[in-house]
Amino acid sequence: MLKLPRGLQWAGLVVIAGLAGFGAFLASRNLLAPEPLPLPAPASHPAVIPERRPDIKLADRDGKLRALSEWDGKALVVNFWATWCAPCRREIPMLNDLAREQRAHGVEVIGIAVDFREDVLKYLQKMPIDYTVLIGEQDGLDAARAFGIEAIGLPFTAFIDRSGRIATIHVGELHRPQAEVILKLVQEVDSGTLDMAAARAQIRAKLAELGPFESDAKPD
């Protein structure tokens, strides 16, 4: 991969940061595959959330290249974040708890840092993260686009069933009650008691009932 000067790399990442206000507006929305996602991005076509999880490959904190296919057969919570993103940082303790509690139920949390590797490694020294962290600069942006998200602000979190289908993508800060609602419905899909279309509809309805959270309005 072509290594751009740090300033040019940062310019690419700032595309996301510069639209964080729009991300706050979308904080309580969930994007349900395969419905079109309306974006303020300059792309000529709206992004579309894929039906299935893309098999992206990124380096972990030890520099080892990891593919999401490594977790085939498990339900996934894939959280895109960055060290400079305040709501991303607020999510981490909750995601740590979720990772510890859900691992026994076949659910894995994966954090994808769209950020400079050196900044992420430095941050991890002071903020323990108890789940797998993958790191990407330009390839992190490419990974976000593979999930159908284009420059609308971090964080966002994809919930994926055991067969690799994306149940929903939550844009904005994820709160524990929201995560519990989504995971319960994904587990019903995995157990065969609910089909995916019904799960997506119920996710939308139940999250609307929860409404916005106080921290969604906090400035980044």
Q: Which of 43-47, 180-184, 200-204 has the lowest mean pLDDT?
A: 43-47
> What does the mean pLDDT of the chain come to?
83
The reply to whether 19 falls in a domain is no
The reply to whether 201 falls in a domain is yes
**Stated pTM of the model:** 0.79
Q: Which domain covers residue 183, as residue numbers?
A: 27-37+47-212
pLDDT in tens, 53-88: 999 999 999 999 999 999 999 999 999 999 999 999
CA 21 to chain CA mean position, Å: 17
pLDDT (0 to 100) of residue 19: 40
Peptide bond into 177 cis (omega under 30): no
pLDDT (0 to 100) of residue 117: 96
The reply to whether 160 falls in a domain is yes
Quote the number of domains for the chain: 1
The reply to whether 141 falls in a domain is yes
Q: What letter would DSSP give residue 110?
A: E
The reply to whether 102 falls in a domain is yes
The reply to whether 16 falls in a domain is no
- Answer yes or no: is pLDDT of 204 > 90: yes
* CA atoms of 75 and 161, how far apart (whole Å): 4
CB 148 within 8 A of CB 50: yes
Residue with tokens 């990124």, as numbered in its chain: 58
The reply to whether 9 falls in a domain is no
pLDDT in tens, 139-192: 999 999 999 987 557 999 999 999 999 999 999 999 999 999 999 999 999 999
The reply to whether 13 falls in a domain is no
Q: Which amino acid is at 141?
A: L
> Within 13 A of 205's CA, how many CA atoms are on the CB side?
7
Backbone φ and ψ of 142, nearest 5°: -65, -35
Using alpha carbons, select from 46, 49, 27, 30 the residue that is nearest to residue 38.
46
pLDDT (0 to 100) of residue 152: 58
- Answer yes or no: is pLDDT of 45 > 80: no
- CATH number of domain containing 86: 3.40.30.10
